Amino acid sequence: MNKKEAMKILEDNIEPMRKQSEIHRKSEKSLDKDDSKVPSLTGPKTEDDYQDMLNDIKESGENE
> What residues make contact with another protein under the rule CB under 8 A?
1, 3, 6-7, 9-10, 13-14, 16-18, 20-32, 34-46, 49-50, 52-54, 56-62, 64
* 40, amino acid identity: S
Give residue 5's Cα distance to chain centre.
22
For residues 10 and 22, give the distance between their C-alpha atoms in angstroms, rounded to a whole number. 17
Q: How far is CA 9 from the centre of its chain?
A: 18
